[in-house]
Amino acid sequence: MKAKLMDFDKALELFEPVLGFEVHVELGTSTKMFSAAPNPAHPEFHGAEPNTLIDPLSLGLPGSLPVTNETAVRYSISLGLALGCQIATSCRFARKNYFYPDTPKNYQISQYDEPIAFEGAVEIELASGRQVTVPIERAHMEEDAGKLTHVGGSTGRIQGAEYSLVDYNRAGVPLVEIVTHMIFGAEHDAPELARAYVGAIRDIVLSLGISEARMERGNLRCDANVSLRPRGSQQLGTRTETKNVNSMRSVERAVRYEIQRQAAILADGGTITQETRHWHEDTGETSPGRPKSDADDYRYFPEPDLLPVEPSRELVEELRAALPEQPVARKRRLKAEWGFSDLEFQDVVNGDMLHVVEATVAAGAAPQSARKWWTGEIARVANERGVEAASLVEPAHVAELQRLIDERTLSDRLARQALEGVMAGEGSPAEVAEARGLKVVTDESALVAAVDEALAAQPDVLAKIRDGKVQAAGAVIGAVMKAMRGQADAARVREIVLERAAG
């Protein structure tokens, strides 16, 4: 049954939305949080067969004991610092007890009342230029659970399944869970803020180099809490928690949907059930999950198998000194350095190409050239193939391609052919150009001969050019380029056409 929705603007007129987010970040360490089993979130171990990245601890076998991963702790502190948090002088792990087959120990090792990082803030800049500060309550370390596949039943979902299959590769992957305080005042920007917040976390994580932060792979997962309260009311409404929304666009849509759904219920005099909800990408709706009370009794208690983590102040300061520039500041700096218009820059940001354009510029390309390649030809191919642009070609190769154009070794058209070869794995642009025989004809006499031939073949065009209709030259240039199989510099051909026509 379709839920009734209220018009978004109408909902905002009657109610004030209050937001909160829990974002899980999988850290890209080599090994798991508490054992030396390889980490599937590390690039080296992508796509491993099920249950091959496991050791006794991943399976919760009797007698296995956890030992904390030092790199995961360092990454967590860096992330905490980048979120503007204080870092605990001492913190313990805790057992979160629950009985479910994705966690064979029957508890998840997490942190409860002693998170490693707490009380920070993230600055968000919306498309309108509006600045919003998202208050961070805490960021704590924990381990991921295994992955379940429900078999039988028609939908592959829990309901109606005959049995479930479990892959424990993901069990024990280091996670940092970032929890915000309640966010007030987002108003009409609430859906956009949700998207921008997750984007900001992703940018921070990427700039720290602690995770690949690919939402479609589950490296970054967002649970969005939404509640509404009538205008003028000081009392908070009942919230829902939409789980595991796996793209930035979906986060935005899910928040908008929940606002509209809850508003329709409240306006009809109904009540909101406090529950988790699942986002469905295909229908653009959420559906009820399980009821969730604030008093969820996970029987937390301090993890007796792990000793406290007490980050030294020297370590914290060392990591603070190594922090990269904040994403918002970085964006502002790059936009100014590159001299892009708002529209051009927005294109790059929306296409998720800030880092590749930056790397291309660093490799020697002019910013505008780098932008045109990435948001043009490469984005087009990426769309066509349904892959990330960054996965198609190295920034250094894009810079090399542009250099070949600037040196007039390749024309734009030849460069696109060379790019095609580079994306097909045939080597660097220069190697592809060499192998495919792509080269602008620089032999002047050959060009002149081709121009003369083309002019002789089109006497009417020649007459027009002599009458001062310079734009008519296009037909002749086209014929020459064709004769040269595209391997001529069109600008030079044009010059020769005009010279010879005049002569």
Q: Enumerate the β-bridge partners of residue 84.
A: none
Sole window of 62-70, 129-137, 179-187, 391-399 interacting with another protein (rule: CB under 8 A): 62-70
| Closest CB to another protein among residues 17, 311 | 311
* The only residue of 26, 241, 303, 489 in contact with another protein, by rule CB under 8 A: 303
Query: Which residue, chain included where needed, has tokens 């006499």?
Result: 445
Least Cα distance to 27 among 180, 232, 205 occurs for: 205
Sites for another protein among residues 229-258 (CB under 8 A) = none
CB contact at 8 A, 34 and 67: yes
The region that residue 69 occupies, defined by phi over 0 for left and psi between -120 and 50 for alpha, beta otherwise, is beta
Residue span 129-168 as binding mask against another protein, x where in contact by CB under 8 A, dash where not: ----------------x--xxx-x-----x--xxxxxxxx
101 near another protein (CB under 8 A): yes
Sites for another protein among residues 394-423 (CB under 8 A) = none
CB contact at 8 A, 370 and 398: yes
* The only residue of 3, 22, 84, 98 in contact with another protein, by rule CB under 8 A: 98
CB contact at 8 A, 351 and 379: yes
* The only residue of 71, 246, 274, 458 in contact with another protein, by rule CB under 8 A: 71
Q: Using alpha carbons only, give the angle 206, 210, 214 rounded to the nearest 5 degrees.
A: 55
* The only residue of 5, 22, 84, 102 in contact with another protein, by rule CB under 8 A: 102
Query: Which residue, chain included where needed, has tokens 């987002």?
Result: 186
CA distance 385 to 87: 44
| Closest CB to another protein among residues 158, 470 | 158
Sites for another protein among residues 420-479 (CB under 8 A) = none
Strand intervals (E) in 292-331: 301-302
* The only residue of 25, 59, 81, 450 in contact with another protein, by rule CB under 8 A: 59
69 near another protein (CB under 8 A): yes
CB of 365 to another protein, least distance (A): 35
302 near another protein (CB under 8 A): yes
| Closest CB to another protein among residues 306, 328 | 306
| Closest CB to another protein among residues 17, 146 | 146
| Closest CB to another protein among residues 30, 383 | 30
| Closest CB to another protein among residues 291, 478 | 291
CB contact at 8 A, 279 and 245: yes
CB of 361 to another protein, least distance (A): 32
Residue span 12-41 as binding mask against another protein, x where in contact by CB under 8 A, dash where not: -----------------xxx---xxxx---
Least Cα distance to 486 among 406, 418, 400, 403 occurs for: 418
Start-to-end Cα distance in the chain? 79
| Closest CB to another protein among residues 299, 343 | 299
Query: Which residue, chain included where needed, has tokens 């930056």?
Result: 358
DSSP character string of 424-485: TT--SHHHHHHHHT---B--HHHHHHHHHHHHHH-HHHHHHHHTT-GGGHHHHHHHHHHHTT
User: Number of residues in contact with another protein, rule: CB under 8 A?
Assistant: 57
176 near another protein (CB under 8 A): no
Query: Which residue, chain included where needed, has tokens 């690919």?
Result: 214
CA distance 104 to 102: 6
Sites for another protein among residues 257-296 (CB under 8 A) = 276, 289-290
Judge residue 295's burial from the number of C-beta atoms within 10 Å of its C-beta, 0-12 exposed, 13-18 middle, 19 or more buried. exposed
CA distance 335 to 347: 12
308 near another protein (CB under 8 A): yes
| Closest CB to another protein among residues 85, 145 | 145
301 near another protein (CB under 8 A): yes
318 near another protein (CB under 8 A): no
The region that residue 360 occupies, defined by phi over 0 for left and psi between -120 and 50 for alpha, beta otherwise, is alpha
CB of 241 to another protein, least distance (A): 12
CB contact at 8 A, 220 and 172: no
Binding site for another protein (CB under 8 A): 29-31, 35-38, 49-56, 59, 61, 67-73, 90, 92, 98, 100-103, 145, 148-150, 152, 158, 161-168, 276, 289-290, 301-304, 306-310
